[in-house]
Structure 1
């Protein structure tokens, strides 16, 4: 004797099986199924912490106590009225100017290595390799590189320039230049590989036509390469400037923010975990996010107007 409930259950399963859906419905189900987990992870580890940080920014909280005191905009007022919180943005200027050196070198090497150069594959790997290294490892490498009687001082001695040896990480006038140079060495490979891919996508027929017209290498770069990769240059510039504002890893590992090398992000981390002011640190994080978004939108508007 058949079970009516079992039969109805089997009918429902067959009715709602994927095979009974049309092509468009199948696509929707598959897209939702494959997107559900990534979207859940994105919300859990990106948007939810951002929402919590925004809520914390209106409270006074030490990060441990279960009770938070609502203070309204007091944390934001303290940031904009306390000079010690915004003076650290001057450190970002070193990384800002280093950004243009970084992009210039990346574009220069990408242009040269696009054409026939001996050992060009070796040079491509050597330039991109630093970007693959862990930031902690790079911090320790350059910590020994800049230490007194370290690698840099040894090289200067071999070249007969030992008298120019300095306290590269101990002199407040040189420390940020040294750290910015380390940042250029590490991230230039990222810009280089993007520029290289964009330049190699340019058709070779254009270069052949330029050769027929008598164009030299400078003419090819100015009138063919640069206009063709303008959008890539703009994208790299936006990423590099945004990264210069949010520098954290290298100065934190190498100096811990000492001798005037503290960036806004280091100041935020210290405020939260060293001084137990999580609410104030959350407000600093929101301010940094607004600054980065504003600069990104401003660059897009400026580039758009220039392009028009």
Structure 2
């Protein structure tokens, strides 16, 4: 006897593996984190030790000085690493698109390589480059400008620029590939017509290239905003998970991790995660609104 499944159930049956995996590994942790944000709980005490505390975890997070310091660090790193990514990737993409022809895929792949490289490998590489006594960065600065050796990863003044440089180096290739893909969608007829009208390269960039790239610029900037506010791996590995000298490289992600796994305060960590969800959603909305208003004016 064969089991016959009604035809209208077939699509649901085919996508059921994804739905089950999403429910177990995606939806359940999300809802559990939201519920945990209103609880006081140490995992070592067991599930039965959970105690409802209302909004206490959110009040604690919003009045905690370390949270505000980590948020300032996160915003500084997001701006210092995110803005140069686009200022470099955009003109570089235009240059590669115009100058390298069929070889641009190979060249852009070289720029894209850091994005797919292991974060641990990248952190170890830059940890060696930023070494105080034998690092290539200090050796180059001393040879070129006579500067004394800088404690890049142990100085409160130098740790942030060092982390920002690593993040910039890793993600600039990703934005480059985005802009290269968008440039190939702009009709070449527009450039030919502009040349016939006497428009130079700069005028073509301002009047054709930049407007044609606006949707991709919005997409790339939005990803940079979200990624910058979630920054965790690079500063965590470069500072051995402690936030660096004077906690100058402690991002919200690192502080959230330490709240949960160093101090066993999973309730406060969950509340902090949902607060950051709101911050990211707000800044993403403001970014989209700013681009929409600018596009409407133009």
1:73 to 41, 55, 64: 55
- Segments of 5+ residues of structure 2 without an aligned counterpart are none
TM-score normalised by the chain length of structure 1: 0.87
- Segments of 5+ residues of structure 1 without an aligned counterpart are 1-8
Q: Which residue of 1 aligns with 2:36?
A: 56
Q: Which residue of 2 aligns with 1:96?
A: 79
Matched, 1:153 2:133: no
2:206 to 210, 222, 237: 222
Structure 1 residues 214-223 or 242-251, which shifts more?
214-223
2:273 to 285, 290, 297: 285
3-state SS of 1:87 partner = helix
Matched, 1:29 2:10: yes
Q: 1:164 to 1:216 in 2, by over 3 A?
A: farther
1:304 positional shift? 2.5
Matched, 1:133 2:117: yes
Distance between the aligned counterparts of 1:217 and 1:198, measured in 2?
18
Q: Which residue of 1 aligns with 2:230?
A: 246
Aligned length: 287
1:108 to 69, 91, 115: 91
Please list, as runs of the form range in 1=range in 2, the aligned pairs for 1:178-193 lying within 5 A after superposition: 178-193=162-177
1:164 positional shift? 4.5
3-state SS of 1:229 partner = helix
1:286 positional shift? 1.0
Distance between the aligned counterparts of 2:162 and 2:5, measured in 1?
63
Q: Is the contact made by 1:245 and 1:292 (CA closer than 8 Å) also made in structure 2?
A: yes
2:260 to 265, 268, 272: 272
Structure 1 residues 234-243 or 34-43, which shifts more?
34-43
Distance between the aligned counterparts of 2:111 and 2:65, measured in 1?
40
1:178 positional shift? 0.8
Q: Is the contact made by 1:153 and 1:162 (CA closer than 8 Å) also made in structure 2?
A: no
1:17 positional shift? 6.1
Q: Which residue of 2 aligns with 1:5?
A: none
Distance between the aligned counterparts of 1:226 and 1:215, measured in 2?
15
1:307 positional shift? 2.8
Partner deviation per Cα, 1:289-308 (whole Å, 9 max, x = no partner) = 11111222222233233333
3-state SS of 1:115 partner = helix
Distance between the aligned counterparts of 1:111 and 1:40, measured in 2?
44
Q: Is the contact made by 1:271 and 1:280 (CA closer than 8 Å) also made in structure 2?
A: yes
